[in-house]
Every structure is written in C-alpha cells, then in structure tokens.
C-alpha cells in the first residue's frame, strides 16, 4: 500500500509510462482511493502540459534564471 508521499514521488514516471507494472498497479489503486492525490495528479498533468507548450523565449529572463536554479537544486537533492 502506497502512502501519499510515495504516490506523489512516482507521478512523473507514471505519466511518462516508466513504472513497472506492479508499481503502476499500486499507484493506480492508491489514486482510485485518494481524492487528494488524484487532484494533485490532475494539477501535475496540467503543469506538465503547460510547460511543454512553453518556449524558452516565452519566459522572462528573471523567471528563466529562477527556474534553472530551482531545477539544478532539485537535481542535486
């Protein structure tokens, strides 16, 4: 049984189809019973969809710099 924190950590791989079948089944089961995680998944999907439509030149330079710094920090963690 997955906890919410575990489920949230798996969402990126889930949306990319990168989870093994057992983990996908466990996450799908969790999402079926957890409205909060389902709402988070829907928000996450929307953010990913929006981000994919952005072009680098659409971002103001200060925002782009903050985003790059944030992503670098997350990758190191």
Domain span including residue 21: 4-76
d(CA 17, CA 26): 14
Instruction: Quote the number of domains for the chain.
Output: 1
What's the pLDDT score for residue 68?
A: 86
Whole-prediction pTM = 0.66
Q: Which residues contact 23 (CB under 8 A, 6 or more apart)?
A: 10
Distance, CA of 67 to CA of 52 (rounded, Å): 14
- pLDDT computed for residue 53 by the predictor: 83
Question: Above 90 in pLDDT, residue 72?
Answer: no
> What confidence tier does 56 reach under pLDDT thresholds 50, 70, 90?
low
pLDDT, mean over the chain:
89
């Amino acid at each position: 049984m997955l906890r919410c924190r575990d489920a949230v950590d798996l969402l990126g791989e889930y949306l990319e189809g990168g989870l093994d079948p057992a983990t996908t089944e466990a996450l799908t089961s969790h999402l079926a019973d957890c409205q909060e995680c389902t709402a988070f998944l829907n928000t996450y999907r929307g953010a990913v969809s929006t981000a994919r439509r952005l072009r680098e030149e659409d971002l103001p330079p200060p925002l782009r710099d903050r985003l790059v710094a944030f992503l670098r920090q997350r990758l190191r963690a």
